[in-house]
Amino acid sequence: MQSIYFKEEHNLLRDMVRRFVETEIKPHGDAWERDGMVPRETLRKMGELGLFGLRFPEKYGGSDMDVFAMIVLAEELGRSTFGGVSVTVMVHTAMSSPHLVYAGSEAQIRKYLPDILSGESICAIAVSEPAAGSDVGGIRTRAVRDGDDWVLNGSKMFISNGYYGDLYFVAAKTDLEAKGSRGISMFIVERDTPGFKIGRKLEKFGIHCSDTAELFFEDCRVPAENLLGEENKGFYAVMRNFQNERLSIGAMATSESATALDLTLEHLRNRQAFGGTMIEKQGIRQRLATSQCKLLAAQQLLYHAAWLDSAGKDAVAEISMVKAHCAETAQEVMYNCQQFHGGMGYIRDSPIERMVRDARLHAIGGGATEVMLEEVAKRWQ
């Protein structure tokens, strides 16, 4: 569907990413699912194409494009049918590394960003904990200043890119007396930092080629210059980048759903039953048409919220709506697509079966649907 939001530069980017998906991801995705990771070689190729710096300033090696470039990247990766690839890439380039550019000093940016853009250094955002997922204010990992270092103690859970990552943006409590979300700071932690340990690689319901891990900090000494941004202002940094995260999740959810509908329509046009093709059955056609209507509505909400954000307007409510509505729409669309594939939709490693599992994350990660709806409701009061 044509859109007023995309310009020629976005269309050229879309064509490039689509070619990459067809030649470099789809032929290998099944093997990556079994291996539980996206190869670093593939990520470096994406770095060479400039896909990891779309929204970063040109002076740092980025392309200085707008939020719709990020959406194009997320949409085209979503159409690969391998949700784990999408998550690996978007966590790196939209959910974690922006923290460096938003809040980092010139020295920090010059030190770390070149390898981030090239794909030599893969990033993770370490906020969630065993007892603090969507509730960022509930984190317990703490950091105490000791001379020229900060000493971190605590743990993180459900960290995407956590097992094979190189650079971690970690939220920790630096004002131990502050309540709730106050007193949180962000730190840059390198993989080989003493006292930093990567725990087990978590086995998940879906997105199998996205590595997820638990992290441990045991008297982990981080140089004072690795404080990212202002001390005790980390919560605001997390909240700011949540807008990127939630828009990218909305884009992944809607593009994956659109691809699932395409696969289902192709299947139904060929599937013979009860004296004709399945697509000729009125009830099936109408349920798919309803799914298509809801999907297009979700996409337009996504694009409108992205436009508001790019215009510098307060779009927290609208972006929270995007995260909730696009994620829940994906659940419904995927259910219908699997249903109309019949038994084949239940066979492990068929595209639809995998996509159904992968899409479940959208309603949980990056802020659960219920939390997003509370964000909307609070702004009505």
Q: Where are the domains of the chain?
A: 8-118, 123-232, 235-378
241 vs 95, 217, 257, 316, 366, CA distance in Å? 7, 24, 25, 11, 11
The pTM score is: 0.95
What residues are paired with 160 via a beta bridge?
Answer: 212
CB-side neighbour CA atoms (13 Å) of 262: 11
- Which pLDDT score is estimated for 1? 57
CA gap 319, 241 in Å, rounded = 12
Sign of the torsion formed by the C-alpha atoms of 60, 86, 90 and 16: positive
33, 129, 245, 375: the catalytic one is 245
Active site annotation includes 245: yes
pLDDT of residue 240: 87
Q: Give residue 317's pLDDT.
A: 96
**Tens digit of pLDDT for each residue in 226-275?**
999 999 999 888 888 889 999 999 999 999 999 999 999 999 999 887 88
Fold category of 123-232 in CATH: Butyryl-CoA Dehydrogenase, subunit A; domain 2 (2.40.110)
- The CATH classification number of 235-378 equals 1.20.140.10
Fold for the domain defined by 8-118? Butyryl-Coa Dehydrogenase, subunit A; domain 1 (1.10.540)
Model pLDDT for residues 282-304, shown as the tens digit of each residue: 889 999 999 999 999 999 999 99
Q: How many residues does the chain have?
A: 381
Which pair of tokens denotes residue 317?
């409510």
Residues 6+ apart with CB under 8 A from 298: 250, 253, 254, 257, 322, 325, 326, 329
Whose CA is closest to 249, among 54, 91, 47, 68?
A: 91
pLDDT beneath 50, residues of the chain = none
Dihedrals phi, psi of 320, to nearest 5 degrees: -65, -40
